[in-house]
């Protein structure tokens, strides 16, 4: 007996298709997950076992093999819990395999059978919409998935309610997209006293989509000027707001399901470590996040040259450099 469930692997801002293949075979009872799983994926065995036990089901006394295909792609994250559980339920005949073939499944399982939130639901919803499939996700993130457009979103609070929906005995209500977050003003150039040359350079960089390098001693106003940049840029287009929200979703920062409308700003400290700047896996570092966010905030391609602005000060003994548009370091 075998069953296959579709899910995704997150590679930065790219969702790669992954198939969860579950097979039951004769032999000593065992539960094995293969396909380059990390520690969080390997621990899905215990979460799935406990979640099924909470709804009155037990694992069959057989050899259970779960393959995450493609096998050469590293898998990480807890969002594989729900597809593994549904694949196992389909293999034992508790739900229909053909029904699951129309959905992409993401979600983490609690020990009591509840479906907990997991990062990247908006990205998974966009991926499902692109391949003409529906999405099964946690109930807390149904409004987030609804922003992906016209697709069938099943946002279930627990495993038992999801099984009832798939069997057609008790349907789960379709989630609706919540209102986008209000635009809250940040630092404004009116707060900067003097620095007319620096403010003019900032306006030119914002208008033309140029890189900007500010040089000056500590306390001369580089970070304040950089923080004022989002306030003089035009409002986010709907497609840009969706991409900015997608970055926040993968980072696990879109918990309220509201689409981000404010242009983001990153100001890493000069002592930030390399892992903090670069990040890795599902976690975006400060520089990596800033680069991705700024890239979708402007539709203008950046030239190779950079505009340079020297910030005057009484003391030039300790020059510092800060930042490209939307990013500053002090």
> For the chain, what is the HEC assignment?
CEEEEEEEEEECCEEEEEEEEEEEECCCCEEEEECCECHHHHCHHHHHHHHHHHCCCCCCCCEEEEEEECCCCCECCCCCHHHHHHHHHHHCCCCCHHHHCCEEECCEECCCCEEECCCCHHHHHHHHHHCCCEEEEEHHHHHHHHHHCCCCEEEECEHHHHHHHHHCCCCCCCCCCCCCCCCCCCCCHHHCCCCHHHHHHHHHHHHHCCEEEEEECCCCCHHHHHHCHHHHCCCCCHHHHHHHHHHHHHCCCCCCCCCCCCCCCECCCCCCCHHHHHEECCEECHHHHHHHHHHHHCCCCCCCCEEEEECCCCCCCCCEEECCCCECCC
Report d(CA 292, CA 242) in Å as an integer. Answer: 13
Q: In what order do the strands lie in the sheet with 320-322?
A: 306-310, 211-216, 320-322
Under 8 Å between Cβ of 325 and 229? yes
Instruction: Single out the residue of 10, 23, 41 nearest to residue 284, CA to CA.
Output: 10
Q: Which residue in this structure is represented by tokens 């899910």?
A: 7
Delimit the domains of the chain by residue range.
2-167, 189-322
Separation between Cα atoms, residue 120 and residue 24, nearest integer Å: 30
Q: Is 110 exposed, middle or buried (0-12, 13-18, 19+ CB in 10 A)?
A: middle
- How many Å from the N-terminal Cα to the C-terminal Cα in the chain? 60
Which residue in 61, 103, 63, 59 sits closest to 85, CA to CA? 59
From first to last of its 330 residues, what are the pLDDT tens digits of the chain? 789 999 999 887 789 999 999 999 999 999 999 999 999 999 999 999 999 999 999 999 999 999 999 999 999 999 999 999 999 999 999 999 999 999 999 999 999 999 999 999 999 999 999 999 999 999 999 999 998 888 999 999 999 999 999 999 999 999 988 877 777 777 888 888 888 999 999 999 888 888 888 888 888 888 889 888 888 888 788 888 888 888 888 877 776 778 887 887 877 777 888 777 776 555 555 544 544 334 333 333 333 334 445 554 433 333 333 333 333 333
Q: What are phi and psi of 117, to 5 degrees?
A: -70, 150
pLDDT, position 256: 75
Closest by Cα among 201, 230, 232, 223 to 306: 201
Q: How far apart are CA 265 and CA 293, in angstroms?
A: 9
Task: Return the CATH number of the domain spanning residue range 2-167.
Answer: 3.30.230.10
Predicted pLDDT of residue 61: 92
Query: Which has the closest alpha carbon to 321: 313, 311, 206?
Result: 311
pLDDT of residue 284: 54
Task: Specify the pLDDT at position 183.
Answer: 74
Q: How many CB atoms lie within 10 A of CB 133?
A: 18
pLDDT value of position 194: 86
Buried b (16+ CB within 10 A) or exposed e, 220-249: bbbbbbbbbbbbebeebeeebbbbbbbbbb
């Amino acid at each position: 007996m075998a069953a296959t469930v579709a899910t995704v692997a997150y590679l930065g801002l790219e969702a790669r298709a992954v198939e969860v293949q579950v097979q039951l075979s004769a032999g000593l009872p065992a539960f094995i997950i293969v396909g380059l799983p990390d520690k969080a994926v390997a621990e899905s065995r215990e979460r799935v076992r406990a979640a099924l036990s909470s709804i009155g089901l037990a694992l069959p006394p057989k050899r259970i093999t779960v393959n995450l295909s493609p096998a050469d792609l590293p898998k990480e994250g807890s969002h594989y819990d729900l597809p593994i559980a549904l694949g196992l339920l389909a293999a034992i005949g508790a739900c229909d395999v053909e029904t699951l073939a129309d959905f992409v499944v993401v979600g983490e399982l609690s020990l009591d059978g509840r479906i907990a939130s997991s990062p990247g639901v908006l990205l998974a919803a966009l991926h499902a919409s692109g391949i003409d499939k529906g999405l099964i996700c946690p109930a807390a993130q149904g409004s987030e998935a609804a922003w992906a457009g016209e697709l069938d979103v099943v946002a279930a609070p627990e495993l038992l309610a999801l099984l009832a929906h798939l069997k057609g005995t008790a349907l789960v209500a379709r989630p609706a997209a919540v209102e986008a977050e209000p635009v809250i003003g940040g630092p404004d150039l009116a707060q900067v006293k003097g620095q007319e040359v620096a403010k003019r350079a900032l306006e030119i960089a914002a208008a033309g989509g140029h890189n900007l390098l500010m040089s000056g001693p500590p306390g001369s106003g580089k970070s304040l000027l950089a923080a004022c940049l989002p306030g003089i840029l035009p409002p986010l287009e709907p497609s840009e707001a969706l991409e900015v929200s997608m970055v926040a979703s993968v980072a696990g920062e879109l918990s309220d399901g509201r689409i981000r409308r404010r242009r983001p700003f990153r100001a890493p400290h000069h002592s930030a470590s390399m892992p903090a700047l670069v990040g890795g896996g599902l976690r975006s570092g400060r520089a990596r996040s800033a680069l991705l966010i700024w890239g979708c905030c402007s539709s203008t391609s950046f030239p190779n040259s950079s505009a340079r602005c020297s910030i005057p000060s009484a003391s030039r003994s300790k020059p510092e450099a800060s930042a490209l548009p939307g990013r500053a370091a002090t």
